[in-house]
């Protein structure tokens, strides 16, 4: 299942974190790389992500391992940019609802068993580790503080990576409209934009977020899709001491580089309407509800005001696990499609670039091949 090698020219379709990260890693390997994006960079999920860097709670051992290595790459980046306002490791605090669904004790035991840094804290103890969180909102089962977690502002990271990509001679084509992957005689031969401009290549990475399943279906390939529509609300800047990411029953909260907060939740996602023309409807009551829920979990219950919100697909494969690597039936046609793309962004780009450049499958991606859906 190797691509014909050597590969000297690659087209990456999609300018979110997976596309940009893979493109810069390819450029570092000396591969001539063209990145083609529909609109401006980061105009998909990467531009409206909570972007909590974590491997909290339960998942497959392989997925946990990949996420931990993903966090490690961010640690390295953080050491290079120690003062970056867009990449912080100030921990994450999680609590569950006070009902039968509460899994805090079980999750804490699981995380400890893995050696995932975790502290099980009562409400009174949280002020000392996560200033800014409202102790009164923590349920009687307590909260888990994970000191090793963090967050990244993906548009800022994309800016940093793309500057290096261009400096290394990478070619960036933005506002290109919808590109399609060209396949001839069972192998990918490049990409073509709607205006008919062709980008021939030895291999193609499709990293178009929530559009991946639909686009590979055009080449007769099946990837199970569980992509929902998600909402991310950003507040106006607030002067609060919160540094950690909060994951609470009704809202997730993380600081932003400009001193504001980014908010999302499962319930608000479900309230987004999808119109017949493909646009979305977001109710004022949903946005207000999310701001109010965030206020409840913050010390002093500050009044939060809306700055802006983003809405659109949150890429999630049908079985919840990442999809990385080459299609079994189309040589030179690689995919990157996953939830938790913030956590995985750097490592996925590194490993995919290595696979594309060398034709050798990396063992860390063995459990995540597209072929599992065939
Ligand atoms: C609300 C929300 C919260 C999240 N929270 C977290 C979290 O806490 N932690 C975490 O790790 N991850 C989180 N994620 C997930 C993470 O943000 C995504 O997995 C990641 O951003 C996906 O990146 P991507 O490159 O696959 O896709 P995208 O960022 O969607 O980029 C795809 C790009 O492809 C372009 N494109 C699409 N079709 C075409 C085409 N035909 N031709 C050319 N270009 C095309 C789009 O314009 C877009 O720029 C969250 C996501 C959302 C939405």
End-to-end Cα separation, the chain, in angstroms: 15
In the prediction, which pLDDT does 1 show? 44
pTM: 0.98
Beta strands in 154-195 (DSSP E): 171-173, 180-184, 187-192
Strands 92-94 and 245-247 turn out to be parallel
Kindly give the number of the ligand 1 atom that is closest to the alpha carbon of 336.
26
What pLDDT is attached to residue 123? 96
Q: How far is the CA of 301 from the centre of ligand 1 (A)?
A: 31
What is the 339 CA–ligand 1 centroid distance (Å)? 8
What rounded mean pLDDT belongs to the chain?
97
Q: Which residues line ligand 1 (CB under 6 A)?
A: 13-19, 36-39, 43-46, 48-52, 154, 178-179, 207-209, 211, 230, 232, 264, 314-315, 336, 338-343
Under the phi-then-psi rule, with left for phi > 0, alpha for psi from -120 to 50, and beta for the rest, what region is 169? left
Neighbours of 334 (CB within 10 A): 25
What pLDDT is attached to residue 37?
Answer: 98
For residue 46, the CA-to-ligand 1 centroid distance in Å is 4
**Ligand 1: which of 46, 57, 212, 310 to mutate, most ligand atoms within 8 Å of CB?**
46
Share of the chain above pLDDT 90, in %: 97
Ligand 1 pocket test: which of 38, 49, 57 has the largest number of ligand atoms within 8 Å of its C-beta? Answer: 49
121 CA to centre of ligand 1 in angstroms: 33
* pLDDT bucket at 195, cuts 50 / 70 / 90: confident
Ligand 1, from 339, 343, 349: best to mutate by most atoms within 8 Å of Cβ? 339
Cβ atoms < 10 Å from Cβ of 159? 14
Q: How far is the CA of 30 from the centre of ligand 1 (A)?
A: 26
- 262: Cβ–Cβ under 8 A, 6 or more apart, which residues? 50, 51, 232, 233, 234, 235, 253, 254, 255, 256
pLDDT tens per residue across span 56-75? 999 999 999 999 999 999 99
């Amino acid at each position: 299942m190797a691509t014909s090698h050597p590969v000297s020219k690659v087209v990456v379709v999609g300018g979110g974190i997976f596309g940009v990260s893979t493109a810069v890693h390819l450029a570092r390997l000396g591969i001539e790389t063209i990145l083609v994006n529909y609109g401006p960079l980061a105009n998909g999920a990467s531009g409206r992500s909570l972007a909590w860097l974590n491997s909290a709670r339960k998942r497959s051992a392989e997925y946990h391992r990949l996420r931990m290595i993903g966090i490690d790459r961010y640690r390295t980046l953080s050491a290079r940019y120690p003062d970056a306002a867009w990449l912080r490791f100030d921990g994450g605090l999680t609590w569950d609802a006070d009902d039968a669904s509460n899994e805090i004790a079980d999750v804490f035991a699981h995380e400890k068993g893995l050696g995932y840094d975790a502290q099980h804290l009562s409400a009174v103890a949280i002020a000392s580790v996560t200033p800014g969180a409202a102790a009164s909102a923590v349920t009687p089962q307590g909260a888990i503080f994970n000191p090793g977690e963090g967050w990244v502002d993906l548009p800022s990271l994309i800016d940093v990576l793309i500057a290096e990509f261009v400096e290394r001679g990478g070619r960036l084509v933005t506002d290109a409209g919808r590109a399609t992957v060209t396949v001839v005689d069972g192998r990918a031969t490049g990409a073509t934009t709607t205006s008919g401009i062709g980008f021939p290549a030895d291999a193609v990475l499709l990293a178009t977020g929530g559009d991946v399943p639909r686009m590979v279906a055009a080449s007769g390939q099946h990837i199970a899709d569980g992509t929902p529509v998600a909402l991310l609300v950003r507040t106006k800047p607030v002067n609060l001491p919160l540094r950690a990411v909060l994951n609470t029953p009704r809202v997730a909260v993380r600081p932003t580089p400009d001193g504001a907060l980014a908010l999302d939740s499962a319930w608000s996602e479900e309230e987004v309407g999808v119109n017949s023309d493909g646009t979305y409807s977001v109710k004022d009551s949903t946005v207000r509800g999310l701001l109010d829920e965030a206020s409840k979990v913050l010390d002093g219950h500050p009044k939060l005001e809306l700055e802006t919100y983003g809405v659109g697909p949150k890429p999630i494969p049908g079985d919840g696990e990442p999809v990385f690597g080459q299609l079994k039936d189309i040589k030179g046609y690689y995919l990157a499609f996953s939830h938790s793309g913030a956590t995985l962004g750097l490592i996925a780009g590194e490993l995919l670039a290595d696979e594309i450049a060398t034709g050798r499958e990396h063992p860390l991606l063995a459990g995540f091949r597209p072929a599992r859906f065939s």
